[in-house]
Amino acid sequence: MGPESKPDIISSVLRSAENVGLESAWVVDHLAIPPNDAEGSGGRYLDPLTVLSWMAGQTQNIMLGTGVLILPYRPRLPLAKAIASLQELSSGRFILGVGVGWMGPEFRALGVPRNKRGKIFEDTLSFINDCFEKDVMSSNGQDFIFEPKPKKPSILVGGMSAAAFERAVKVGAGWFPIGRLSEMKDRIQLFRDLTEKKYGRPSEVVTYCSFAGQSESDFCDELNSFRDAGISRVIINTKYETADDWSRVFEVFDKVLQKF
Q: What is the pLDDT of residue 260?
A: 67
The whole-chain average pLDDT of the chain stands at: 94
pLDDT tens digits along 102-125? 999 999 999 999 999 999 999 999
Model confidence at 69: pLDDT above 90: yes
Name the DSSP letter for residue 205: B
How crowded is residue 82: how many other Cβ atoms within 10 Å of its Cβ?
Answer: 18
Longest dimension (CA), the chain: 59
Q: Which domains does the chain have, with CATH numbers?
A: 3-259 (3.20.20.30)
Mean pLDDT across 3-25: 94
Query: What is d(CA 156, CA 258) in angstroms, rounded to the nearest whole number?
Result: 27
Mean pLDDT across 197-218: 89
Q: What is the pLDDT of residue 202?
A: 96
Going by C-alpha positions, the residue among 220, 186, 218 that lies closest to residue 205 is 186
How crowded is residue 92: how many other Cβ atoms within 10 Å of its Cβ?
Answer: 13
Query: What is d(CA 107, CA 56) in angstroms, rounded to the nearest whole number?
Result: 29
Name the DSSP letter for residue 113: -
pTM for the whole thing?
0.95
Mean pLDDT across 232-258: 86
Q: What is the pLDDT of residue 159?
A: 96
Q: What is the pLDDT of residue 250?
A: 87
Q: 239: pLDDT confidence band, cut at 50, 70 and 90?
A: confident
Cβ neighbours for 260, distance < 8 A, ≥ 6 positions apart: 223
pLDDT tens digits along 36-56? 999 999 999 999 999 999 999
The residue type found at 84 is: A
DSSP letters for 151-173:
PPPEEEEE-SSHHHHHHHHHHT-
The helix/strand/coil state of 234 is: strand
Model confidence at 246: pLDDT above 70: yes
Contact 55, 90 (CB under 8 A): no
The residue type found at 242 is: T
Dump strand ranges (E) for 48-161: 63-70, 94-99, 136-139, 142-145, 154-158
Q: How far is CA 163 from the centre of its chain?
A: 18
Query: What is d(CA 223, CA 199) in angstroms, rounded to the nearest whole number?
Result: 27
Mean pLDDT across 225-239: 93
Model confidence at 257: pLDDT above 80: no
Share of the chain above pLDDT 90, in %: 85
Model confidence at 158: pLDDT above 90: yes
The helix/strand/coil state of 96 is: strand
Contact 14, 59 (CB under 8 A): yes
Q: Of how many residues is the chain composed?
A: 260
